């Protein structure tokens, strides 16, 4: 029988004929704990997607109203007109949109003069928003965007709509009756 001598590592006694122990595996590394404060990376969405979807929804809604063709002879759609018999600031709005889709601005103004003026301006602003987004340019601001000016603009809009509601429900001169949503001059 032959004696095989293995190199020693220094841990076994001298003259031992036993094979050295296998090397021990490295200690497992601790698993990293999940970082609960990390925010997942947001997907990049093109800047023009939001204005395109908004403009598409407005166009689809306007075309649906034009296809539906709300008329003056049907029941009132507005709950304030149906329940209380008074015009809210948006009464006649569906007929106004219908007239604007058909290109008749005077009939639209006859139904709701505020919406007949505001809706084309809003449509132009949406198109400008889309074009500037495609060009990757920000929208210009019309006034300083501070909390104070935003509140002031909001209060002014509410006061204007309340005043418009009161004036359009007053019976009197023909120009006031023109503001009623139920009067339609053909």
Q: What are phi and psi of 38, to 5 degrees?
A: -70, 135
What pLDDT, on a 0 to 100 scale, did the predictor assign at position 39?
58
**How far apart are alpha carbons 182 and 171 in whole angstroms?**
13
CB-CB contact of 153 with 162 (8 Å): no
What pLDDT, on a 0 to 100 scale, did the predictor assign at position 14?
58
What pLDDT, on a 0 to 100 scale, did the predictor assign at position 186?
42
Q: What is the largest CA-CA distance in the chain?
A: 130
pLDDT digits (tens, 9 = 90+) for 53-83: 999 999 999 999 989 888 766 666 788 887 8
> 122-139 as b/e, with b when 16 or more CB fall inside 10 Å?
eeeebeebbebbeeeeee
Conformation bin of residue 136: beta by default, left when phi > 0, alpha when psi is -120 to 50:
left
CB-CB contact of 100 with 116 (8 Å): yes
Q: How many CB atoms lie within 10 A of CB 80?
A: 16
pLDDT tens per residue across all 186 residues of the chain: 555 555 555 555 555 577 777 787 777 776 766 666 655 655 677 889 999 999 999 999 999 998 988 876 666 678 888 788 888 999 889 989 999 999 999 989 988 999 999 999 999 999 999 999 999 898 887 767 788 888 888 999 999 999 999 888 888 777 677 777 765 444
What pLDDT, on a 0 to 100 scale, did the predictor assign at position 185?
46
């Amino acid at each position: 029988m032959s004696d095989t001598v293995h190199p020693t590592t220094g841990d076994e006694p001298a003259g031992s004929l036993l094979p050295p122990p296998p090397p021990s595996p490295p200690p497992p590394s601790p698993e990293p704990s999940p970082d609960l404060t990390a925010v997942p990376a947001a997907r990049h969405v093109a800047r023009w997607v939001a204005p395109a979807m908004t403009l598409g929804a407005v166009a689809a809604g306007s075309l649906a109203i034009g296809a539906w063709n709300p008329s003056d002879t049907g029941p009132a759609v507005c709950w304030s007109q149906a329940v209380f018999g008074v015009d809210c600031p948006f009464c006649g709005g569906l007929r106004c949109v219908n007239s604007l889709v058909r290109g008749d601005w005077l009939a639209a103004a006859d139904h709701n003069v505020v919406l007949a003026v505001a809706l084309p301006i809003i449509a132009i602003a949406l198109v400008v928003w889309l074009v500037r987004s495609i060009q990757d340019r920000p929208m210009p601001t019309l006034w300083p965007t501070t909390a104070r000016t935003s509140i002031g603009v909001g209060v002014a809009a509410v006061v204007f709509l309340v005043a418009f509601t009161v004036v359009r429900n007053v019976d009197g001169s023909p120009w006031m009756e023109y503001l009623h949503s139920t009067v339609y001059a053909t």
